Amino acid sequence: MQQPNWLVTGGAGFIGSNFVRSVRREARFGVVNLDKLTYAGHLENLTDLADDPGHHFVCGDIGDATLVDALLDEYRPAAIVNFAAESHVDRSILGPQEFIQTNVVGTHTLLQCVLRYWKSLDSSQADGFRFLHVSTDEVYGSLGPQDPPFTENSQYRPNSPYAASKAAADHLVRAYHETFGLPVLTTNCSNNYGPYQHPEKLIPLMIGNGWAGRLLPVYGDGRQIRDWLYVQDHCDALRLVLERGRAGETYNIGGDCERTNLDIVQELCRLLDQADPAGAPHTRLIAHVADRPGHDRRYAIDACKMQQELGWKPRVSFDAGLAATLRWYAEHPGWVAAVSAGAHERWLETNYGGRDPAAAPGAAG
């Protein structure tokens, strides 16, 4: 019997490529991987799958209805997992239009194609089909110091163009379930970290700058709080939601691990001191730079629904995950160099070069 397929959009990005790799590791499903290969999507993320006959990569846009229709018709996927999104808050501040185009218009185009495809399935196939939309905790806005964590019933209060575009996409996904009956699932996750994360994000940026002896730019006072989740734990959760989640439901996925940005940087400095004693103390490289506009103060996720309904909870402790992440970047300098080409450096200079004359380019939240 032919192996069933899943269509994964954005599967050459950070979380998407880790998810594709986890799916193919079990080899129960073939993966059709559709990715536009923007700044965050790289074929270097998929080199270990180059000879895997169960992984088929397609360079393309979820906003291209002709291409999406053709892929659905050819591969007849049993499920679709939508990671495809512009996903960096800082980039959304500099250029919101791309976020609207991909995250809102693109998601809607994908939904239209998927609805047509789902309606063409026979009853048994249609009953088992799922569309999983991967979103973010940023749609809920910012929490106060004593506020309870976000739940699936928290009000949407997006504060950045990125968060607003993802909130719009979430609402469209819900509407296609409520109006047309499309069997959708939505997940809202906390900050991920781990292998293959783009070097302009907080943890890999600080690792790279620390190795190089460059300044470690921290926004504002560095007391912004995020809930951190190791990427493989997230991938495991997504698999459970896809296979056992209830159609039409939203599931929040969090690491139960609140840390300030400054805590993260200081812990990385401690690990860098151990790995590179000659460069110690790396805390001397920390430089506070002007904060970004509308910077949310705190995120936190209540993942009780995931635990109670699906039996999931994160398995990788933050200390173990952070140490493993630093080792991975140290062992993959070729990957870092390949995805940190000139365009990456130019963007860092454009976004951060004028924030503080004492600070090197680069900061993330």
Residue of 35, 61, 137, 236 marked catalytic: 137
Under 8 Å between Cβ of 60 and 321: no
Catalytic, 162? Answer yes
Active site residue 26: no
Residue ranges of E strands in 3-154:
5-9, 30-35, 55-59, 79-82, 130-136
Q: What is the dihedral of CA 179, 181, 183, 186, to 10 degrees?
A: 20
| Domain boundaries along the sequence of the chain | 5-194+227-253
What number of other Cβ atoms are within 10 A of residue 150's Cβ?
24
Among the options 86, 138, 267, 302, which is catalytic?
138
Q: At what angle do helices 261-275 and 202-212 cross, to 10 degrees?
A: 40
Nearby residues of 348 by Cβ (< 8 Å), 6 or more positions away: 200, 361, 362
* Catalytic (active site) residue 137: yes
- Res 210: pLDDT: 96
CA-based diameter of the chain, in Å? 65
**Six token digits for residue 150:** 């976000």
Rounded Cα gap, residues 348 and 365, in angstroms: 14
Of 232, 229, 236, the residue nearest 311 (C-alpha): 236
The residue type found at 177 is H
pLDDT at residue 350 in the model:
56
Cα separation, 83 vs 34, whole angstroms: 10
Give pLDDT, residue 340: 83
pLDDT less than 70: residues of the chain: 1, 342-365
pTM: 0.93
The residue among 77, 86, 163 whose CA lies nearest residue 113 is 77
Residue found by looking up tokens 């991967």 in the block: 134
pLDDT in tens, 136-194: 999 999 999 999 999 999 999 999 999 999 999 999 999 999 999 999 999 999 999 99
**Structural fold of domain 5-194+227-253:** Rossmann fold (3.40.50)
* Cis ω before 281 (30° cut-off from 0): yes
Query: How far apart are alpha carbons 120 and 73 in whole angstroms?
Result: 10
Residues whose CB falls within 8 Å of the CB of residue 228, separated by 6 or more in sequence, listed in order: 190, 191, 192, 193, 255, 257, 258, 259, 264, 318, 321
Half-sphere exposure of 74 (CA within 13 A, CB side): 11
**What span, in angstroms and rounded, lies between the C-alpha atoms of 193 and 232?**
9
Nearest residue to 32 via CA among 66, 71, 61: 71
What angle, rounded to 10 degrees, do the helices at 202-212 and 318-331 form?
A: 50
**How many C-beta atoms lie closer than 10 Å to residue 327's C-beta?**
13
